[in-house]
Structure 1
Amino acid sequence: MNWKKLYRIYREEGLSVRKNGGRKRAIGTRAPMAIPQGPNQRWSLDFVSDSLSDGRRFRVLCVIDDFSRECLAARVAITSRQRFFPTCYGTELTSNAILKWQEDRKVEWHYIAPGKPMQNGFVESFNGRLRDECLNEHLFDNLRHARELIAAWRDDYNHHRPHTSLDGLTPWEYHQGSVEDQTLNRANQ
């Protein structure tokens, strides 16, 4: 039977192939974000994946302060939903558990538009540096080894490496200078 006859019979009988619905995504704000004017006004989160020398995969949850570019946390864990975040179904950070957590604590949660990583540009830039300068440079024997090397790299990134986008200051120096400026402004008012 040729495809034309098959298609005609298919249409006459009213047959159709069921389409799976798309993946359900968490509902949250998806609007342009204002640039933060001080430290701790907005943090960005993202995951980076790598593997140990024995082939087991692990992920690093990176938390970046968008104002100072400081890496607030780089948590390393084996890829497993139960050991990372309580995400029941769906992608990272889009589960009902996360939505309930942010609602209970009155935290404004903002999701970037799908396929638009530059809406989360500060953490994406950080992830690129982490991958190029740390993850691609080392072969990790175990999780402890990965945690130690990533923590050392994070310390160097925050305290010893000047950033041109921060006028040649380290993220920590930029954060401290901003806090001092805000304190002086309040004292002068």
Structure 2
Amino acid sequence: MRCDNGPEYISGALLSWAARHGIKIEHIRRGKPQQNAYSERHNRTVRYGWLARTLFDTIKQVQDEATRWPWTYNHERQNMALGSITPMQKLAGVA
């Protein structure tokens, strides 16, 4: 698993768990977020797309929103890079 060097990814608990499950942790070089660009982009989108805009009272609410958000992101959110259409509209036009 490739990840950055944030405290949540260098903790002894995570590294021990990964070792017990045969998962190799690959840390990117410090100061090189482009080495993990897809994850960094996803994390930024989640953080600013819905997580920072919503006040949650329970973990269940977060889980429900995390389940609904990808559908909204792909079906309802217009993407300027795609000519102001949704990713699903773009995919339908390609097929």
TM-score tier after normalising by the smaller chain length = 0.5 to 0.7
Q: Name which of 76, 99, 104 aligns with 2:19.
A: 99
- TM-score, structure 2 length as denominator? 0.59
Structure 1's consecutive aligned runs of 4 or more residues displaced over 3 angstroms after TM superposition are 43-46, 161-165
Q: Give the letter aligned to residue 87 of structure 2.
A: T
SS of the equivalent of 2:65 reads helix
Q: Whose helix proportion is higher, 1 or 2?
A: 2
- Residue 128 of structure 1 deviates from its aligned partner by 1.1
Q: Whose strand proportion is higher, 1 or 2?
A: 1
Which structure has more RCO (C-alpha within 8 Å, separation ≥ 6)? 1
Q: What pairs with 1:68-147 in structure 2 (closer than 5 Å)?
A: 89=12, 92=14, 95-102=15-22, 110-147=26-63
Measured in 2, the distance between the counterparts of 1:121 and 1:132 equals 16
Structure 2 alignment gaps of length 5 or more: none
Q: Give the letter aligned to residue 68 of structure 2.
A: A
Identity of aligned residues (%): 21
Task: Specify the structure having the higher radius of gyration (Cα).
Answer: 1
CA RMSD for the aligned pairs?
Answer: 3.8
Structure 1 alignment gaps of length 5 or more: 1-42, 47-80, 82-86, 181-189
Q: Give the letter aligned to residue 32 of structure 2.
A: K
Deviation readout 1:155-184 (Å, 9 max, x if unpaired): 222x3146638xx7738x86xx8xx9xxxx
- TM-score, structure 1 length as denominator? 0.34
